[in-house]
Homo-oligomer: A and B are copies of this chain.
Amino acid sequence: MLASSFDLSRWNALHLQRVEQALERWIPLAAPAGLAQSMRYAVLDGGKRLRPLLVMGAREAVASQGAESLAEQSVRDDAALRAACAVELIHAYSLVHDDMPCMDNDVLRRGKPTVHVQFGEAQALLAGDTLQALAFEILTPLADEVDGTPPPPLLQARLCQLLARASGHAGMAGGQAIDLASVGQALTEAELRLMHRLKTGALLQASVMMGAACGQASQASLAALRCYGEAIGLAFQVVDDVLDVTADSATLGKTAGKDAAHDKPTYVSLMGLERSRQYARDLLAQALTALDDSQLGQTQALRALAHMVVDRSH
């Protein structure tokens, strides 16, 4: 069950470099009236890039299953890189908007002042809106925006489909709405799980499924990856709740203890610290079992990423 001989830090470094370079290239350097600056500030130079790494890990897992020509491989790898960046842009926009005064009113993110503190509220609102649009731009390149062959239209449409649903009313934004409404409310464990399944789980799971869409996996393999994505999506939030209580702001790069301060329901407030930690370990085991059952060969990166989600310190 251990990640064993697979060297995650080397794999991470390789794929992070590709993602960072692509984000650098695809977020405009020049846009009207400070918009490029606020967008770049919100995305570049910060973040663990967990979602892009999940896209790349899932792409790697399914690439080993199909019999792709070198040319196909290159087109599908490029599509996965686009998917990785698009998911990160959606994640970044959600952080910018969540930090605004009318939402969580937070001043610190990734160890830096939040976007609205740095650039003002109007610019933060606009930067978030624009990052969302940019995600869909990146998924649907014009012919003159690509070196070589663009992703097949069917794949472009499928990636937009997965991303739009994971970020909208039945995904991230829906979860955020429950979160807003739940401050000071008693939630049951089922309600809390629904909130997080939407708010963070949907986009994490979509990252896996978007990576998987860039290959030709069987229905059984896709179902296994869906289980894997669901388990680590949930585990991510459980660990987040644990860290909010146990870590300090300097380590987190964001304000610690803010859930309790805002009287927000969390796994820790609901089931206590020890049971929360055990729950995260159970979810890790579920994720790894799903990979065992996936009939996919190259799952080392996804295994290691699951460990990283649960064992992280920030």
A140 within 8 A of B: yes
Contact of A181 with B33 in the complex, beta carbons under 8 Å: yes
Distance in Å from the Cβ of A56 to the closest Cβ of chain B?
Answer: 22
Q: CB-CB contacts of A156-190 with B at 8 A, as 1s and 0s?
A: 11101101110111110111111011100000000
Residues of B within 8 A of A158 (CB): 140, 153
Contact of B31 with A133 in the complex, beta carbons under 8 Å: no
Contact of A157 with B177 in the complex, beta carbons under 8 Å: no
A36 within 8 A of B: yes
Q: CB-CB contacts of A76-96 with B at 8 A, as 1s and 0s?
A: 000000000000000001100
Please name the residue on chain B nearest to A128 by beta carbon: B129
Partner-B contacts on A (CB < 8 A): 28, 31-36, 39, 93-94, 97, 100, 102-103, 120-123, 125-126, 128-130, 132-134, 136-137, 139-142, 153-154, 156-158, 160-161, 163-165, 167-171, 173-178, 180-182, 198
A97 to B142, CA, bound (A): 28
The 19 listed contacts between A and B (C-beta, < 8 Å) are A28-B169, A33-B181, A35-B177, A39-B169, A100-B125, A102-B121, A129-B129, A129-B132, A130-B168, A130-B174, A132-B133, A133-B168, A133-B171, A139-B160, A140-B160, A140-B164, A153-B158, A156-B160, A157-B157
A168 to B169, CA, bound (A): 21
Extra contacts besides A129-B173, A136-B136 (19): CB < 8 Å: A31-B169, A31-B170, A31-B174, A32-B175, A33-B174, A33-B178, A33-B181, A34-B177, A39-B169, A94-B129, A103-B122, A103-B125, A126-B177, A130-B168, A133-B168, A136-B160, A140-B158, A141-B161, A153-B153
Residue from B39, B153, B174 in contact with A154 in the complex, judged by beta carbons closer than 8 Å: B153
Residue from B125, B133, B136, B198 in contact with A97 in the complex, judged by beta carbons closer than 8 Å: B125
Supposing A130-B169, A139-B160, A142-B161 touch, asked if A177 and B103 sit within 8 A by C-beta, the answer is no
Residues of B within 8 A of A154 (CB): 153
